[in-house]
Structure 1
Amino acid sequence: MTIPSPSPETLLDRQCEQRSEPGYLEAVLKSAARRVVVFHRGKALMNAGRLGYFDPAALPAETLAGTTHVYLAKALAGHGLPNGTDLVLQVLPYDAGDLAWVPTGADFAGYRDVASTLNAGEVEVFIEAQAVANWHATHASCPRCGGPTESLCAGWMRRCDKDGSEHFPRTDPAVIVAIVGPDDKILLANNFAWEPNKYSTVAGFVEAGESGERAAVREIAEEVGVVLDSLSYVGSQAWPFPRSLMLGFMGYTKSSASTPDNVEVRATRWFSREELQAEVLNGNAGIPGRLSIARELVERWYGGRINEPGDVVDAAELVAPGATL
């Protein structure tokens, strides 16, 4: 079985070359056909349970005061909008006052709260908007001299008013690894920041001068005491908390031992396919949510969809399908 990638074929045209042209954003902001995505304190304004693509005419003028505007993209598909609709991010100030103007049926929500309900197009927009909104929130001052910065290039560059230096949104690479042992079991870890019964793959940041593969080997050895004998790259996923790009690997080891570091990792556990499915269904083990690359890695090892409590499934689906590595 082929598991769909959490970073699907793009459903957006970001207009990367055009958006840096003088006046591009200003022209888009004059278009009545554009749609607005609103963020406040790291949360998106949802509309009847979907990511809100709001008609700017439906938003009161006072919402524009003090906001940062960023050109996101032209919507190509999967958004319920006419093909080519311009999407603009509107980031409200952190101390924005009365939000009574929020339309009926709309409310602010974080990505983790609504990810399982979003379609692929909404996921792509939400993650892009979250990442660039985070960057603007932390770069109002120049990292070189501390002077104030202004937003330029349709929101994709900030320039220091004092020394003229230019700054762009950054992405920090991180590795995430599903560890498969000699008996074809998977090793999952429980982090101190989670509930005691939640298990996931192991992840960590790539250090300066380090390749993704070497970072994977190092992180696995440091956090769970496992020596990897080989790696297979699977794919990547943008993860804007705050600005990561997750590089996903399947890692293979000849050892069945593991040692949690007791700093980040509280415990580790080896699961067979049958054990993992049974433990998830009876509530003894929680695993990453769908649409995460961690879930993709686990299900790639599993060979299909892992069912959760509340899923409507056929009895035949409860038989582990076997590995598709």
Structure 2
Amino acid sequence: MGDREQTLPLTGAEHDRAAHHRLDEAWLAAAWEAPETRVLVIEQGKVHWRDLGPEDGGPVLVLRGTADAPEGERYFLGVEPDGTAHFAVAAAALPEVPDDAGIQVGHLYTLGSVLGDRDAGLLVHALGLENWHRTHGFCSRCGQPSEPTAAGHVRKCTACATEHFPRTDPAVIMLVVDPQDRALLGRQPSWPEKRFSTLAGFVEPGESLRQAVVREVAEEVGTRVVDVAYVDSQPWPFPSSLMLGFHATAADDHVDVDGTEIAEARWFTREELGAAVEAGEILLPGGISISRRLVELWYGKPIAESNKW
């Protein structure tokens, strides 16, 4: 089903997370003071970036020295191959910048497919930690406040000392094909009428990934899956998912949408999908998503469209 060697957006991180340094307070303090250390400032998912142009690296994150970093929770992200340490600071607001500095505000959903692997990797790591810390300020065991430790990768209860670790929610996402090799795409009720994507759903307790694929497809569109093949995975910190991508084969072309999670579902041949996209009759998932990759692997090549979401 096409070339699977191309790097999926958000999966090419180049920094070494160097977890052995997270409890080494002396090393972390020295790294913070090092003049070459770089800091990504993040405010509820928003970051600063600039476009250097196609010949000089294109869009890049604005990384600051520690002296220019604002106050906020500090997370150690890791080190580059040359030894440069990287931190993130979760700030109350992004620093002010001159109007003529060429610096813009962006977020992962729009930047993830245009940043280089290093910057996309730093951003997805920082965003995942920021999302988690912002929503897990209290101990789930005793209800008392918790505080960051292990350089931002653990929260520890101030009362009972229970340690809490960042949450990741596994979700299966699958392109289903029928015996005629047609692809099934669906539209959620909350989406505009032209938006179609692959099916997806969260893995339930005590369930294997294959079982989750079979169950979700049956629940959402009433289709019986007889074969499941793993393709790839992608971190998706919106706010804390890990997308596990599959191609699945259906027993037949039966479709009976549930009307709750899926409002409409259609089978497409490659010719029908290409023509519908070209005519603007449907909009596919954005290029950052594993959903788009699953569709294009089946299609056999990238799919160009004038309008994206």
- TM-score, structure 2 as length reference: 0.90
Q: Find the aligned partners of 2:243 and 2:275 in 1 and give their Cα distance.
A: 28
Q: Find the aligned partners of 1:105 and 1:140 in 2 and give their Cα distance.
A: 36
1:73 to 78, 85, 90: 78
* Runs of 5+ consecutive residues of structure 1 not aligned to the other structure: 77-82, 312-325
Identity of counterpart residues, as a percentage?
38
1:171–1:245 CA contact under 8 A, matched in 2: yes
Say whether residues 1:24 and 2:27 are aligned partners.
yes
How has the CA–CA distance of structure 1 residues 279 and 293 changed in structure 2, closer, same or farther, with 3 Å as cutoff? same
For 1:231, the equivalent position in structure 2 comes to 228
Say whether residues 1:53 and 2:63 are aligned partners.
yes
**CA distances 1:105-138 after superposition (whole Å, capped 9, x unpaired):** 3233221222332222222221111111101101
Task: Report the Cα offset of residue 245 of structure 1.
Answer: 0.8
1:5–1:296 CA contact under 8 A, matched in 2: no
Pairs within 5 Å for 1:221-300: 221-300=218-297
* Runs of 5+ consecutive residues of structure 2 not aligned to the other structure: 52-58
Task: Report the Cα offset of residue 172 of structure 1.
Answer: 1.0
Q: Find the aligned partners of 2:275 and 2:112 in 1 and give their Cα distance.
A: 24
Q: Find the aligned partners of 1:287 and 1:120 in 2 and give their Cα distance.
A: 23
Task: Report the Cα offset of residue 267 of structure 1.
Answer: 0.4
Say whether residues 1:173 and 2:170 are aligned partners.
yes
Q: Find the aligned partners of 2:169 and 2:50 in 1 and give their Cα distance.
A: 31
How has the CA–CA distance of structure 1 residues 217 and 208 changed in structure 2, closer, same or farther, with 3 Å as cutoff? same
Q: Find the aligned partners of 2:39 and 2:279 in 1 and give their Cα distance.
A: 42
Task: Report the Cα offset of residue 220 of structure 1.
Answer: 0.4
Partner SS, residue 184 of structure 2: strand
How has the CA–CA distance of structure 1 residues 126 and 149 changed in structure 2, closer, same or farther, with 3 Å as cutoff? same
Partner SS, residue 137 of structure 1: helix
1:40–1:108 CA contact under 8 A, matched in 2: no
Partner SS, residue 17 of structure 1: helix
For 1:102, the equivalent position in structure 2 comes to 97
For 1:90, the equivalent position in structure 2 comes to 89
For 2:55, the equivalent position in structure 1 comes to none
Q: Find the aligned partners of 2:31 and 2:192 in 1 and give their Cα distance.
A: 46
1:13–1:75 CA contact under 8 A, matched in 2: yes
Partner SS, residue 235 of structure 1: strand
Partner SS, residue 20 of structure 1: coil
1:236–1:248 CA contact under 8 A, matched in 2: yes
Q: Find the aligned partners of 2:122 and 2:13 in 1 and give their Cα distance.
A: 10
How has the CA–CA distance of structure 1 residues 300 and 280 changed in structure 2, closer, same or farther, with 3 Å as cutoff? same
1:210 to 198, 207, 218: 207
For 2:157, the equivalent position in structure 1 comes to 160
2:21–2:28 CA contact under 8 A, matched in 1: no
For 2:196, the equivalent position in structure 1 comes to 199
Task: Report the Cα offset of residue 253 of structure 1.
Answer: 0.9
Aligned-pair RMSD on alpha carbons? Answer: 1.9
Task: Report the Cα offset of residue 84 of structure 1.
Answer: 2.8
1:173–1:206 CA contact under 8 A, matched in 2: yes
Q: Find the aligned partners of 1:220 and 1:310 in 2 and give their Cα distance.
A: 28
For 1:184, the equivalent position in structure 2 comes to 181
For 2:37, the equivalent position in structure 1 comes to 34
Q: Find the aligned partners of 1:172 and 1:252 in 2 and give their Cα distance.
A: 25
My pick for the range that moved more, 115-124 or 28-37, is 115-124
Task: Report the Cα offset of residue 9 of structure 1.
Answer: 4.9
2:109–2:288 CA contact under 8 A, matched in 1: no
Aligned residues: 296
Task: Report the Cα offset of residue 177 of structure 1.
Answer: 0.6
My pick for the range that moved more, 139-148 or 232-241, is 139-148
Amino acid at match of 1:175: V
**CA distances 1:205-250 after superposition (whole Å, capped 9, x unpaired):** 0011111110110000001111001010111111101111111110
Task: Report the Cα offset of residue 274 of structure 1.
Answer: 1.3
Q: Find the aligned partners of 1:301 and 1:130 in 2 and give their Cα distance.
A: 31
Q: Find the aligned partners of 1:10 and 1:146 in 2 and give their Cα distance.
A: 35
My pick for the range that moved more, 102-111 or 133-142, is 102-111
2:12–2:121 CA contact under 8 A, matched in 1: no
Q: Find the aligned partners of 2:203 and 2:126 in 1 and give their Cα distance.
A: 24
